[in-house]
Chains A and B, each alone.
Chain A
Amino acid sequence: MAKNNNTFKVPENYFNDLEKDILSKVNHLPKKKFIFSPSKTVFRYAAIVLLLLAVGGIVWWNQPTDMANTELANSINESSNFSSKEDMNKSLDIKTEENYPSKQEITISELGNEKPSNEEFELSKEELDYLEYYLRAGVVNDYLTYNE
Chain B
Amino acid sequence: MTDNELFELLKNKSSREKGFSVLVHDFKERVYWQIRHMVLSHEDANDLVQEVFIKVFQNIDNFKHDSSISTWIYRIALNHTLNFLNSKSQRYKQNYTSLEDDMFNNLRADKNFEPDEIELKLQKAILSLPEKQRLVFNLRYYDEMPFKEMEQVLQTSESTLKSTYHFASKKIEEQLLKEEIIKFDFPN
* Interface, chain A (partner B; CB < 8 A): 1-11, 14-15, 18-19, 21-23, 25-27, 29
Cα-based distance from A56 to B94 in the complex (angstroms) = 49
Which residues of chain A have C-beta atoms less than 8 A from B50's C-beta?
Answer: 18, 21-22, 25
Flag if B32 contacts A19 (CB, 8 Å). no
Contact residue range for chain B?
Answer: 20 to 34
> Is B20 a contact of A26 with CB atoms below 8 Å?
yes
B9-50 contacts to A (CB < 8 Å): 17, 20-21, 24-25, 28-30, 32-33, 36-37, 40, 42, 46, 49-50
Contact indicator A15/B115 (Cβ below 8 Å): no
When distances are taken between beta carbons in the complex, the residues of chain B under 8 Å from A5 are 119
Q: Measured between alpha carbons, how far is A2 from B143 in the docked complex, in Å?
A: 5
Q: Report Cα–Cα, A7/B25, bound state, in Å.
A: 23
Pick from A8, A23, A27: contact of B37, CB under 8 Å: A8
Which residues of chain A have C-beta atoms less than 8 A from B17's C-beta?
Answer: 27
Q: How far is the CB of A100 from chain B (nearest CB, A)?
A: 82
Q: Report the bound CA distance from A9 to B50 in whole Å.
A: 18
Contact call B33/A2, Cβ cutoff below 8 A: yes
* B187 at interface, CB cutoff 8 A: yes
In the complex, what residue of chain B is closest to A2 when comparing beta carbons? Answer: B33
* Nearest Cβ on chain B to A91's Cβ, whole angstroms: 77
14 residue pairs from A and B, CB less than 8 Å apart: A1-B30, A2-B143, A3-B142, A5-B119, A8-B36, A14-B46, A15-B29, A15-B32, A18-B49, A19-B28, A22-B24, A22-B54, A23-B24, A27-B17
The contact of A6 among B40, B42, B58, B142, by CB within 8 Å, is B142
Q: How far is the CA of A28 from the CA of B37 in the complex (A)?
A: 29
- Do A18 and B54 have beta carbons less than 8 Å apart? no
- A2 to B142, Cβ gap below 8 A? yes
Closest 10 CB pairs of A and B: A2-B33, A7-B115, A9-B112, A22-B53, A7-B119, A2-B142, A1-B29, A26-B57, A1-B30, A22-B24
Q: Chain B residues with Cβ under 8 A from A9's Cβ? A: 42, 112-114
Chain A residue contacts of B30, Cβ below 8 A: 1
Give Cα distance in the complex from A80 to B58, angstroms: 80
Residue with the greatest number of chain B CB neighbours at <10 A, chosen from A1, A3, A11: A1
Contact partner of A8 among B29, B57, B112, B144, CB < 8 A? B112
Are B37 and A2 touching (Cβ within 8 A)? yes
B180 at the interface (CB under 8 A from A): no
CB within 8 A of B54: which of A1, A6, A25?
A25
Min CB distance B54 to A, Å, is 6
In the complex, which residues of chain A have a beta carbon less than 8 angstroms from the beta carbon of B116? 7
Determine which of A4, A7, A11, A23 lies in contact with B144 in the assembled complex, contact meaning CB atoms within 8 Å. Answer: A4
What are the residues of chain A within 8 A of B57 when measuring CB–CB? 26, 29
Which residues 111-126 in B have Cβ within 8 Å of A in the complex?
Answer: 112-116, 119
Q: Which residues of A contact B42 (CB under 8 A)?
A: 8-11
Which residue of chain A is the closest to B143 with respect to CB atoms? A2
B92 adjacent to chain A (CB < 8 Å): no
Q: Which of A8, A21, A25, A27 contacts B113 (CB 8 A)?
A: A8
Q: In whole angstroms, what is the CA distance A73 to B9 when docked?
A: 80
Q: Which residues in B have their C-beta under 8 angstroms from that of A8? A: 33, 36-37, 40, 42, 112-113
